[in-house]
Amino acid sequence: MKIMIKSLLALAVVAGLNLLLSGCAYNVEEELYPTQNDCDTVAVSYSMQIVPILESVCYTCHTEDTGILIGGGNIFDSHAAILPYADSGTLVCVVEFAAGCSAMPPSGEQLSTCNLALINSWVNNGAPNN
Ligand code: HEC
């Protein structure tokens, strides 16, 4: 009888621990993979993060093919081509809709807060070709 009570107790403890642990695992997962507001602006990569933004919003008007016709002559579909815009502050100025700059994109639909933060961070890091 004593042995049975002991093993029942052990079972209960194991079950309790299991519940506790699975609860913790869930919390940790939530912390590790937040669904929103996940904007990592440390060591921003030109090829992995900046190009996709430009590609989806800006290249319509600013590539070799489109820049002359509808981009006001502004072409920046390569790192070498965008570097002067980054260095001069023009790139940040236009996407921030700052006073004294043409707001880009001209549609008036500003880039997301995260994409603006990524561009800012990349420019502040010296606009590396990484
Ligand atoms: C619908 C076409 C179009 C799209 C899309 C577009 N642009 Fe432009 N962009 C223009 C035109 C036209 C000009 C030249 C006239 C002007 O400066 O307003 C220009 C000018 C610029 C300039 C030069 C501004 C200056 O003062 O010399 C920069 C930099 C620029 N765009 C960046 C961007 C970026 C970054 C995006 C994407 C977030 C973008 N553009 C999206 C049409 C576009």
Write out pLDDT tens, residues 107-125: 999 999 999 999 999 999 9
Side-chain half-sphere exposure of 48, counting CA atoms within 13 A: 7
| Any domain includes 40 | no
Q: How many angstroms separate the alpha carbon of residue 88 from the centre of ligand 1?
A: 15
Q: Rounded to whole angstroms, how far apart are CA atoms 77 and 83?
A: 10
Say what the pLDDT of residue 17 is: 46
Give yes or no: residues 113 and 63 share one domain: yes
Closest residue by Cα to atom 13, ligand 1, is 72
Q: Give the integer Cα–Cα distance in Å for 66 and 107.
A: 17
Q: What is the pLDDT of residue 34?
A: 46
Are 67 and 92 part of one and the same domain? Answer: yes
pLDDT higher than threshold 60 for residue 11? no
> Ligand 1 center to residue 17 CA distance, Å?
59
Segment holding 69, helix H or strand E: helix 67-70
Predicted model pTM: 0.78
Number of independent structural domains in the chain: 2
Tell me what pLDDT residue 38 has: 85
Domain of residue 61, residue span? 46-124
71-96: average pLDDT: 98
Q: Does residue 129 lie in a domain region?
A: no
User: Which atom in ligand 1 lies closest to the alpha carbon of residue 107?
Assistant: 1
Within this chain, do residues 54 and 108 fall inside the same structural domain, yes or no?
yes
Statement to judge: residues 52 and 89 lie in one domain: yes
Q: Say whether pLDDT at 32 is over 60.
A: no
Q: Residue whose CA is closest, atom 27 of ligand 1?
A: 90
**Using CA atoms, how far apart are residues 119 and 54, in angstroms rounded to an integer?**
10
